[in-house]
Amino acid sequence: MNKAVKRVVIAGGGTAGWMTAAALSKLMGSDLEITLVESEQIGTVGVGEATIPTLVFFHRLLGIDEAEFLAATQGTYKLGIRFENWRDIGKDYTHAFGVTGRDCWACGFQHFWLRARDMGFAGDFGEYCLERRAAESEKFSRLPNNGLNYAFHFDASLYARFLRKFSEVYGAKRVEGKIEQVLLHPETGHIRSLRLNGGREIEGDFFIDCTGMQALLIEKTLHAGFESWSHWLPCDSAVAVQTEAVAPPVPYTRSIARESAWQWRIPLQHRVGNGIVFASSYQSDDSARQQLMGNITGQALTEPKLIKFQTGRRRKQWHKNCLAVGLSSGFLEPLESTSIHLIQQNIVRFLRLFPDQGISPVAIDEFNREAEVDVQRIRDFIILHYKVTERTDTEFWRYCRNMSIPDTLARKIDLFTETGHVNRDGNELFVDSWQQVMFGQGLMPKRYHLLVDVMPEDELRNFIAQIKHSVDSSLSKLKGHNEYLAEMLMRT
21/26 Cα distance (integer angstroms): 8
Nearer to ligand FAD, 180 or 286 (CB): 180
Interface contacts to ligand FAD, rule CB under 6 A? 12-17, 37-39, 42-45, 47-51, 156, 178-179, 210-212, 214, 216, 238, 240, 275, 307, 309, 326-328, 334, 337, 339-340, 343
* Residue 165 annotated among the catalytic residues of the structure: no
Q: How far is the CB of 268 from ligand FAD (least distance, A)?
A: 12
Residue stretches of the annotated binding site: 13-16, 78, 327, 336, 340
Nearest distance in Å: CB 333, ligand FAD: 7
Burial class from Cβ neighbours inside 10 Å (0-12, 13-18, 19+) for residue 107 reads middle
Taking the complex as a whole, the smallest distance from the CB of residue 208 to ligand FAD amounts, in Å, to 11
- Measured at the alpha carbon of residue 258, what is the angle toward residues 255 and 263, in degrees to the nearest 5? 35
Q: What 3-state DSSP class applies to 434?
A: helix
Whole-number Å distance between alpha carbons of 259 and 170: 48
DSSP-H helix ranges across 217-309: 285-293
Q: Spell 314-339 as b/e; 16+ CB within 10 A means b.
A: bbbbbbbbbbbbbbbbbbbbbbbbbb
Nearer to ligand FAD, 325 or 464 (CB): 325
The residue type of 234 is P
Instruction: Tell me how far apart the terminal alpha carbons of the chain are, to the nearest angstrom.
Output: 47
Instruction: Pick the catalytic residue from 78, 139, 320, 387.
Output: 78
Q: 112 or 207: whose CB is closer to ligand FAD?
A: 207
Pairing of strands 191-196, 33-38: unpaired
As measured in angstroms, the least distance from the Cβ of 347 to ligand FAD is 12
The amino acid present at 314, given as its one-letter code, is R
SS3 261: strand
Q: Provide the 8-state DSSP code for 190.
A: -
Pairing, β 271-278 against β 237-244: antiparallel
What single-letter DSSP state applies at residue 4? P
DSSP string, 191-208: EEEEEETTS-EEE-SEEE
Residue among 109 and 264 whose Cβ is closer to ligand FAD: 264
| Nearer residue to ligand FAD within complex by CB, 148 or 327 | 327
CA–CA dist 120, 141 (Å, integer): 33
Binding residues for 7-chloro-L-tryptophan: 78
Can you say which residues are annotated as belonging to the binding site for L-tryptophan?
Answer: 336
Cα(322)–Cα(207) distance, integer angstroms = 5
Toward ligand FAD, which CB reaches closer, 17 or 355?
17
At 115 the three-state DSSP class reads helix
* Angle, CA of 179, 184 and 185, to the nearest 5°: 150
Instruction: Point out the residues that are catalytic.
Output: 78
